[in-house]
Structure formats: C-alpha cells, structure tokens
Structure 1
Amino acid sequence: MDRRTGKLIILGSISLFLSGIAISPVWADIYRFVDKNGVIHFTNVPTQPGYTVYIRERGTDIQKSGVVVYDAYIREAAEKHGVELELVKAIIKVESDFNPWAVSQKGAQGLMQIMPENSRRLELKNPFDPKENILAGTQFFRSLLDRFEGNITMALAAYNAGAEMVDRHRGIPPFQETEAYVERVMHYYRRYREG
C-alpha cells in the first residue's frame, strides 16, 4: 500500500467516525425560548410559558440514555451512601444528561450539577471529574434524604430548590421548575428500575 492510499484510508475512517457522531440520537427534550431582547434560551426544564420543544426525546431503550461508562461510579456512590443506584442515575439524567462538563446558568457543575458552595462543603476538589462529582452529589442527596426522613420527593425538591425552601413550604415548593424537576427525576427513576 502506497502512502497516498494510506492517507485516503485514514481520512475515510475519520469521516466515517465523524458522520457517526453527527447522526447519533439525542435523548433529552430540549426547549427553546426567545426573550424580548432576542436572546435565545435553551433548557431541559421550562420555567415559564413561551418555551417550545426544540429537540424531542426519543422514547426508546432507556439504557441508551444512561451512559454505561459511569455505571461503576454510580454503583460505588450508591452503595457507599445507601441510595438506590437507579435514583442516582435518574438525578444525573435530569441534571446533566450525563454530560460531565455541564454548567448551569446558576453555576452548578458536573454530572450531578453541584453548586460551588456545596462543592466546598463536600470538599469536592474537581466538580468535572465524574467519579468525584457522583460521590459528592450522592453524599449530598443522602444528607437530604436523612433530613426529610427518607421522603424521596422532598429530598429531590431540596436538591433542586434548596432544603430551606422545602422547609418553608412544608413540602415541594410551588415552583414550576421544581415541580417539573421532581416529576422528571421520578419518571426516569421508575424507568431505570423497570430496566
């Protein structure tokens, strides 16, 4: 094989690989909203009227949407902190859609979208390290489960809106974002448990 043929094979392989990435399925509903200033906002949890579906989640094999590469870390954290593996996975799905580099508008970081002040309290050194983030996020969620006597929906609401808000409202705060968040996590939790 001459040098030119080798280069063509390499270029062809790279093109084939990149085309595979370009047609990979999308697994989360993404909503779009254009504000009065013309700024486009995207979210997986609409917080106000006016958002429209921009990308629709495919309703097929749930395992495809749960990135298997993190399963060992999720299992380790779940066992260490006594939280169901499927629940941790559902939180990650809704928080970051398994994107370890995710950063929210409010500054939450990594797979479990941990706020910087919680990172400091949990002694999380690198919020973008998947293993560290999952261990710290699961530890934090465990503390919320303990605070709310094992009530999963209250702990989820606290994970999203803050424990003080859940205390103040004596339940899930009446915020559209928090209500939708709890509903979505519970949806994925049930689906992951069903396998």
Structure 2
Amino acid sequence: MRSCRKYPLALAALLAAVSSARADVYKFTDRSSGHVYYTDRPSHSGYRLLIKTFSGVTVTYRELEKNRRLYAPVIDAVASKYGLDPALLHAVIRAESGYNSRAVSPKGAVGLMQLMPDTASRYGVSDRHDPNANIEGGARYLRDLIGMFGANLKLVVAAYNAGENAVIRHGNQIPPYPETQEYVSRVLGQYYR
C-alpha cells in the first residue's frame, strides 16, 4: 500500500479496510510541510503505529456492528452493575477487539476486552473466551482503575492498556509508549463520539 497524504476520505477508506484486512496502520507527520502520511508499510523510523490489527480472526465492519448489537445488552447491564458509563465499555471493546470475542493479541490478550492472563485471574475470569465473563472482568478492572485515577479518563484508559503500575511509575502521566498514547486517543475518540 502506498502512503496516503492528508486526505480525510483516503484515511477513512484505509481505516475501514483495516477491519477486514490484516494490516497495521502507521502515521507520520512531516513537520516541515505539515503533511500527514498513513501507510501499512513504514519507510522509516519516523512513522508511529496508529492501529494494530490482530493476528487472530479479523472482523469486517458489518460483523463489528452485528456483534456490537449482540453484546450491547450485556455491556449495558455490566456497566450498570459497576456504575460505569456504557459508552466507556463500548469504546474500550471497540478499540481492544472490534467486538470480536475470539480476538487474540500477539501478547496473549484474549476476548472482547483483551484480558491478559494475570488480569483475568485477578478478577476471577476462568474462561477469557467467554464474552460475558470477559466483559465482567474488564469492567471490574476499569472500575478499579477509576478508583485509582479518579475522573481522569486519560489515565484510566492508559492504565487499561499499559497497566496501572506503568502510569504510576511515570508520575501519574500517560506512559511515553507510542502504542499507549495512540490507544488513549483512539478509545477517547470513540468515547466522545
């Protein structure tokens, strides 16, 4: 794929294609010209990962919307149970798995909320592939992160991605990891939509 310049429609098409194709998306901003480039094949180290696709099962936009509707009642009920905004759970799930309950990340995170083994164990989730249990465990983790970081959703979301200790270690700031910084932008972009 060739790099796309600063064209919103091209970016939208590229992002839509990502859900049905296995291609990470990288972004580069040329500071001298102000142009922004997107590609799945970065040509130099100045590109930053914008969207990481999963190595497991891919999800088309149609499947994403079908699964969103399928899991919405569970997400809403679990959000209510733990005093969370359902929109936050939806934003995290969309960013983590694209509503794909079979998603498995290269790092070993599994399911809708991409629970790592230690997180699943901490919240009593014995089957990370079970969508209901996965949502429940992820929601409990989010609730605990809100307890730690208060209303600062940037830190809550950063901690969900990088771990609460990474946020604490960096002085209660978003860790300087490109993946985490992009993740926070993506989740909050979905949340505030």
Structure 2-normalised TM-score?
0.68
How many residue pairs are counted as aligned between the two chains? 150
Regions of 4+ moved over 6 Å:
50-55
Q: Which residue of 2 aligns with 1:157?
A: 158
Q: Which residue of 2 aligns with 1:13?
A: none
Question: Taking structure 1 as reference, are residues 178 and 32 closer, same or farther at Cα in structure 2, changes over 3 Å only?
Answer: closer
Contact between 2:115 and 2:138, CA under 8 Å: does it hold in 1? Answer: yes
Q: Which residue of 1 aligns with 2:101?
A: 100
Q: What is the aligned-residue RMSD (CA, Å)?
A: 3.1
How far 1:64 moved relative to its partner? Answer: 3.6
15, 28, 31: which is aligned to 2:24? 31
Q: Which residue of 2 aligns with 1:122?
A: 123
How far 1:52 moved relative to its partner? Answer: 9.2
Question: Taking structure 1 as reference, are residues 187 and 54 closer, same or farther at Cα in structure 2, changes over 3 Å only?
Answer: closer
Question: Taking structure 1 as reference, are residues 185 and 48 closer, same or farther at Cα in structure 2, changes over 3 Å only?
Answer: farther
**Residues of 2 paired with 1:165 and 1:116: CA distance?**
18
The one-letter code sitting in structure 1 at the alignment partner of 2:182 is A
Deviations 1:10-37 (A, max 9, x none): xxxxxxxxxxxxxxx757494268xxxx
Contact between 1:110 and 1:133, CA under 8 Å: does it hold in 2? Answer: yes
The one-letter code sitting in structure 2 at the alignment partner of 1:178 is T
Identity %: 36
How far 1:144 moved relative to its partner? Answer: 0.5
Consecutive unaligned residues in structure 2, runs of 5 or more: 1-15, 27-39, 54-60
Q: Which residue of 2 aligns with 1:16?
A: none
Is residue 143 of structure 2 the alignment partner of residue 142 of structure 1? yes
1:1-195 aligned within 5 A: 28=19, 30-31=23-24, 49=47, 64=65, 67-170=68-171, 171-191=173-193
The one-letter code sitting in structure 2 at the alignment partner of 1:80 is K
How far 1:150 moved relative to its partner? Answer: 2.4
How far 1:54 moved relative to its partner? Answer: 11
The one-letter code sitting in structure 2 at the alignment partner of 1:166 is V
Q: Which residue of 2 aligns with 1:11?
A: none
Question: Taking structure 1 as reference, are residues 49 and 141 closer, same or farther at Cα in structure 2, changes over 3 Å only?
Answer: same
**Residues of 2 paired with 1:143 and 1:115: CA distance?**
16
**Residues of 2 paired with 1:132 and 1:114: CA distance?**
10
The one-letter code sitting in structure 2 at the alignment partner of 1:129 is D
**Residues of 2 paired with 1:53 and 1:151: CA distance?**
23
How far 1:140 moved relative to its partner? Answer: 0.5
